Structure 1
Amino acid sequence: MTASTPSHAPACAIVTGHTRGLGAALADLLLARGIRVLGLGRGTNPALAARHGEALVQAVVDLADPAALERWLATDALRSFTGEARCVLLFNNAGTVDPIAPCGAQDAGAIARAVTLNVAAPLMLANAIAAPGAAANPEAERRIVHVSSGAARNAYSGWSIYCATKAALDHHARAVALDAPHGVRICSVAPGVVDTGMQATIRATGIEQFPLRERFEQLKQNGQLATPETAALQLIDYALSDAFGSTPTADVRELVKT
């Protein structure tokens, strides 16, 4: 896999959940490469703004509120941000692992929030990016990266909602690849097990809700969790590579570097 900024740079990127964890690392590394970033989330990232100035644009949008996202998409903010960029990247990173519990013991509101944040928001943003005229430059290539998970491809007790929502992103990417919208590449990419706040949530969950908790505790204790920076670098390198979009689903741990 050869990673480089596409020949049709300059590029810009939209990153959801850019205030912490993997999203913050994605935004930081993209900005360090000279790629402008639009961060979408419930809050802002002052540290990133202080380091990167006007190259970082931030929009406060609750992605778990479909009406709020719909209102934001109805504005000219997305098209205005893209400017004359010849490559527009979308990293659908924001997500939640809650509710963690067996079916029958899950909070209904938490289910609705997870499905909206993990599925509806990424699909709404992907649709907006893929639409003709979404970018100010009519020749701009659009690359959509769904941040997936091993849970999309393997079932885990206590994670029925998380597994289902991540699997939805994988299947969405497969179907969009069949649609083959002009100028659009898409891939749902699993970044490996990353040391983020989500992992802390998992380790704080009771065994009765998540029987595999001990496995994730051991990964932390043995130093086997990828750092957000390492995972972000792999995702960005792949998103910018010529290979991106050649398959609708991928796992960074299985990508062959050339």
Structure 2
Amino acid sequence: MTTPTSSSSHPVTKALVTGHTRGIGAALAEQFLARGIAVLGVSRSRHATLAERFPELLDEAELDLADLARVEQWLAGDALRHFARDAQRLVLINNAGTVQPIGPCEVQDAREIARAVSLNVATPLMFASAFAAVSAGLEDRRIVHVSSGAARNAYAGWSIYCATKAALDHHARSVALDRSPALRICSVAPGVVDTGMQAEIRGMGIDRFPLRGKFDDLKRSGLLATPGQSASKLIGYVLSDSFGQTPTADVRDLPQA
């Protein structure tokens, strides 16, 4: 892999992005790469288009991020340490997640609950810990949890999603209190974005998700942000000097990049 040229004002930056093949994750990976920032994308599949466009900057790992045994095994290997080599600024974006199961408590499937907690909570926390260990000694290391407004407001039908995203917010608050050297962290809500997750929501019955009509209206009115728009604001914030000053943030409250 080719590493971008370093200078004192532009440190060599590398970014690990989970769930980099779809939605916001794909937009984040593409925009990092377009800036000349090397990306390690970790997902269940590879992103053929980005691999063709950025063969020297994109590295990929195929991994089911809901399979905790496999995640533990991968993190214990050398891939992350090898990727971090020669970086001066290292970024982790815990983006992968699921909105399922949707519905009241009594209809939620136990296996779906376990998968959601694994993917939305356990894996990001495992990645954060491994990232912090690998990046120890760097003068600039940054962790981003892609959170949600659902972490801060309860919604009927979203008890698992709300709980798992709230866990990321509280993890960021606690890690910030650790004051680990040169480690910044923020759990960032990306706004209401037109992704496959939104399509899932609009496909649910009102009995499972009473607020579906609100999201239908947002789609019809063209009020959903594109993945590219949210990614641009998020990257601008992540690479700014103000990143990590607060442990939680909302992309809609951030200044334009």
Q: RCO (CA 8 Å, sep 6+): is it higher in 1 or 2?
A: 1
Q: 1:81-123 CA deviation, whole Å, 9 max, x = no partner?
A: 1121100000100000000010111000000000000000100
Structure 2: distance between partners of 1:152 and 1:66: 23
Q: Name the counterpart of 1:118.
A: 120
User: Which runs of structure 2 are paired with 1:18-167 in the superposition (5 Å)?
Assistant: 18-131=20-133, 134-135=134-135, 138-167=137-166
Alignment gaps of 5+ in structure 2:
1-6
Deviations 1:43-84 (A, max 9, x none): 100011011112100001111011000000111110101121
Aligned pairs, number: 251
Q: Kindly state the Cα deviation for residue 7 of structure 1 after the two structures are TM-superposed.
A: 3.8
2 CA distance for matches of 1:101 and 1:66? 25
Q: What is the match of residue 11 of structure 1? A: 13
Tell me: CA distance 1:196–1:6, structure 2 relative to 1, closer, same or farther (3 Å). Answer: farther
AA in 1 matched with 2:205: G
Alpha-carbon shift at residue 256 of structure 1 (Å): 3.7
* Equivalent residue letter for 1:158: G
In structure 1, runs of 5+ residues without a counterpart are none
Distance 2:53 2:101 in 1: 35
What are the Cα deviations for residues 108-158 of structure 1, in whole angstroms up to 9, with x where unaligned? 000000000000010000001112xx03x8334210000000000000000
In 1, the alpha carbon distance for the partners of 2:97 and 2:66 equals: 9
- Look up the match of 2:4: none
Stretch moving more, 179-188 or 6-15: 6-15
> Following the alignment from structure 1 to structure 2, what is the Cα–Cα distance between the partners of residues 193 and 202?
12
Write the distance in 2 (CA, Å) between the matches of 1:6 and 1:149: 35
| SS class of match (1:54) | coil
Residues 233 and 256, structure 2, Cα contact 8 Å, conserved in 1? no
TM-score (norm 1): 0.94
Distance in 2 (CA, whole Å) between partners of 1:140 and 1:17 is 26
Match of 2:250 in 1: 251
Q: Once the two structures are aligned, what percentage of the paired residues are identical?
A: 64
